[in-house]
Structure 1
């Protein structure tokens, strides 16, 4: 079939434009870039109530989450160390066969990916941590992790219960008492093995936007009520102006996070066990 001058050329251009997506896909599939990166596929979004919704699959999320379950979040309050400095600090905390991978997030925290859970737990359980005399907030990474809510407001804090009755040193009782402060995480080795009876020491995740209780009212099975004193090894300074821990909005006023001195009792190690 013959065509007038210019009409066949226009038709050919239309065909080329229609084939453009296929050409780009073929380019990346055959290019050396595909060996360095990850090839992607087009998956139709769904329409719900007239709006486009991207629907993720449970098995895909679970697979990706599994790859990060041995990771920790590290945030140095009032300090911005380099990745190299963070790597050196971690090397001093745990003797690992495989060097952990340290990532820096622009929000100001580090994500440390360990080779296994044992290495991760060695750092997690050995607090409280300090770098250049600045406290370090250490948290387990989770798929729902939100830096602004979890690190800048909800903080793991070591607490002591001085003169806590020995009848209350069980896993269940420590969990119940500590739940009056927040979410109980761990009891240290001295508490677990009752190697020191002057106080129990527990790691509790607390909302520092609220006033930290100095005592708890406890009732025993016989109905006897007593007040249990609470001491904090580190009291993070929460700035209501910017709603963050250790933020520099009040730097000109000289406000600094309050840090309690570290302690040691008869060389007892800071190794911990699960509480609740």
Structure 2
């Protein structure tokens, strides 16, 4: 099991250059000729040679289309599957401070960060252990600024939040044999993409509850129980999600659900005016009540005199 990230560690790994951080990739090239598409590509495109990675153009609904095979798409996605997004609330700190913070995280594999805009940071990792440990944290504090960790997807839109987040699940009274690490991984797959277990679960120090953290799309139906065992022998096990984040599928943002979306269900002007009027009346009533309960100086004097 991989060791946890020590954010206080001073260990140094391969340094990321400033050009790499801000995405100025051309400064990293040792040979500028690599920018030019080779003649071999052009020969394959016109059919002079047979290359499985160069495909003929096509048409989709009467317009030009570039087609890739399913295997090509899987290969392209596989190269960036351990990518995350760091989101700052207002703006990112100085990029040099962000780079130094990431250097201190003691990653196992290679990594790279690039700015997408003022609040979004692209975090490219190469090892699943690094990806799981960073994503499981959900947020990091760099240069005294909180950065929310989000999952990157191929259709990432900076104005929307992906619905995939880390969620802890409890499995009460899980039988002892299923506390084995590989068994917990298989159980976690029924809930999402397994990320980690907590220390008491790994050490079998708290057998009343097993805890597994998974990467899960919150728009999927809730899983209340799962079958564990073989086809003929096994048991149903209750699953308890520790977090149930609100997510609006209209706004594509966390914080509220579809029924309470102000963009989808804006309050009417009549309702707003009625609420404002009711609030005004209530405040006047409170004021009158308060004034009636506070005695004047003369009233207090007469009461004391009697």
Report the TM-score when normalising by structure 2: 0.48
The whole-number CA distance in structure 2 between the counterparts of 1:179 and 1:66 is 19
Shift of 1:112: 1.9
Q: Could you say which structure has the higher helix fraction?
A: 2
Q: Is the 8 A contact 1:161 1:201 kept in 2?
A: yes
Q: Is the 8 A contact 1:74 1:109 kept in 2?
A: yes
Q: How does 1:49-128 map to 2 (within 5 A)?
A: 52-56=64-68, 68=80, 71-76=82-87, 81-82=92-93, 84=95, 86-92=98-104, 94-96=105-107, 100-106=111-117, 109-114=120-125, 117=127, 121-122=129-130, 124-125=132-133, 127-128=136-137
2:149 to 108, 121, 137: 137
Q: How does 1:255-274 map to 2 (within 5 A)?
A: none
Q: Is the 8 A contact 1:83 1:103 kept in 2?
A: no
Aligned to 1:166: 176
Shift of 1:201: 2.2
Partner of 2:64: helix, strand, or coil?
Answer: strand
Aligned to 2:22: none
The whole-number CA distance in structure 2 between the counterparts of 1:107 and 1:244 is 19
Report the TM-score when normalising by structure 1: 0.52
Q: CA-atom RMSD, angstroms?
A: 4.7
The whole-number CA distance in structure 2 between the counterparts of 1:185 and 1:86 is 25
Shift of 1:73: 0.7
Q: Could you say which structure has the higher strand fraction?
A: 1
Shift of 1:202: 1.5
**1:20-48 superposed Cα distances (whole Å, 9 cap, x missing partner):** xxxxxxxxxxxxxx938711365455345
Q: Is the 8 A contact 2:88 2:119 kept in 1?
A: no
Q: Is the 8 A contact 2:114 2:122 kept in 1?
A: yes
The whole-number CA distance in structure 2 between the counterparts of 1:169 and 1:77 is 38
Partner of 2:32: helix, strand, or coil?
Answer: helix
2:225 to 216, 226, 232: 216
Q: In terms of Rg, which structure is larger?
A: 2
Higher relative contact order (CA 8 A, sep 6+): 1
Partner of 1:147: helix, strand, or coil?
Answer: coil
